[in-house]
Amino acid sequence: MAGEESRETIDYTALRRKLDEAQAVLEGAQVLGPERRREVLAERARVLAESRQEERRETVSVLSFRVGGERYAVPIDAVDHVLESRGLCPLPGAPRYVLGALLSRSRVVPVLDLRQVLGLQGGGMSDLGRVVVVEVAEEIFGLAVEEVDGRQELPRVDLSQPPPGPFTFLTRGRLMVLDLVQLSDPAVAGRG
């Protein structure tokens, strides 16, 4: 019968001891000294920072855009701002890959034509509607683009070796991440 099943005896003394120990832990956790409290908070902050850093290492944040019918991107950390290409002034005597310059935020920003730098076929100036202003090693310049697609998080597992040129990564979707350090070098920019 169900009522005749063997019943375990309960050790009320042991149970009471465990409850007292739990109560002591709870009371002790609520009353922390200032030094212990700082240690606990510092440890929590360290653990949170590590978890966020791991998330950042797993993806690369980029700003993607289109030029010459192809998709490219630059690291989001290097992007200063994006603006319309209106007001672009030609620079007489500048290399072909330099479209001109813009005045932006009280600074003169030289603007590169990525079609020239990368050897792409392209239309005229009217196709280049935006300028992505980037900063590399305290040097600022703009990249004339047709259209800005926006910010993307690229999983590192999807990144592969790019073809030769001023690129750092290539994604499975054929998005090429530009190497801005190489682009800022006039010798590299002038090869296109």
| Residues 118 and 40 placed together within one structural domain of the fold | no
Query: How far apart (Å, rounded) are the C-alpha atoms in residues 172 and 159?
Result: 7
| Residues 44 and 69 placed together within one structural domain of the fold | no
**By residue range, what is the domain housing residue 119?**
60-189
Give yes or no for residue 5 having a pLDDT over 90. no
| Residues 122 and 88 placed together within one structural domain of the fold | yes
- Confidence at residue 1, expressed as pLDDT on a 0 to 100 scale: 47
| Residues 93 and 138 placed together within one structural domain of the fold | yes
Number of structural domains found in the chain: 2
| Residues 67 and 29 placed together within one structural domain of the fold | no
User: Which tens digits make up the pLDDT trace of 110-154?
Assistant: 999 888 888 887 666 667 889 999 999 888 999 999 999 999 999
- Confidence at residue 54, expressed as pLDDT on a 0 to 100 scale: 57
| Residues 160 and 128 placed together within one structural domain of the fold | yes
Q: What is the mean pLDDT of the chain?
A: 83
Domain boundary among 15, 40, 57: 57
Query: How far apart (Å, rounded) are the C-alpha atoms in residues 182 and 75?
Result: 13
Query: How far apart (Å, rounded) are the C-alpha atoms in residues 192 and 188?
Result: 8
- Confidence at residue 120, expressed as pLDDT on a 0 to 100 scale: 81
Angle at 87 between CA 189 and CA 80, to 5 degrees: 55
| Residues 158 and 66 placed together within one structural domain of the fold | yes
- Domain harbouring 75, CATH code: 2.40.50.180
| Residues 103 and 181 placed together within one structural domain of the fold | yes
User: Which tens digits make up the pLDDT trace of 59-111?
Assistant: 889 999 999 888 999 999 999 999 998 888 888 999 988 999 998 888 899 99
User: Which tens digits make up the pLDDT trace of 20-67?
Assistant: 878 877 776 555 667 877 888 888 888 887 766 655 568 889 999 999
189 or 124: which leads in pLDDT: 124
| Residues 31 and 114 placed together within one structural domain of the fold | no
Q: How many residues does the chain have?
A: 192
| Residues 10 and 105 placed together within one structural domain of the fold | no
- Confidence at residue 140, expressed as pLDDT on a 0 to 100 scale: 93
Q: Which residue has the tokens 């791991």?
A: 54
| Residues 93 and 157 placed together within one structural domain of the fold | yes
The H-or-E segment that residue 144 falls in is strand 139-145
Domain boundary among 57, 88, 103: 57
| Residues 163 and 114 placed together within one structural domain of the fold | yes
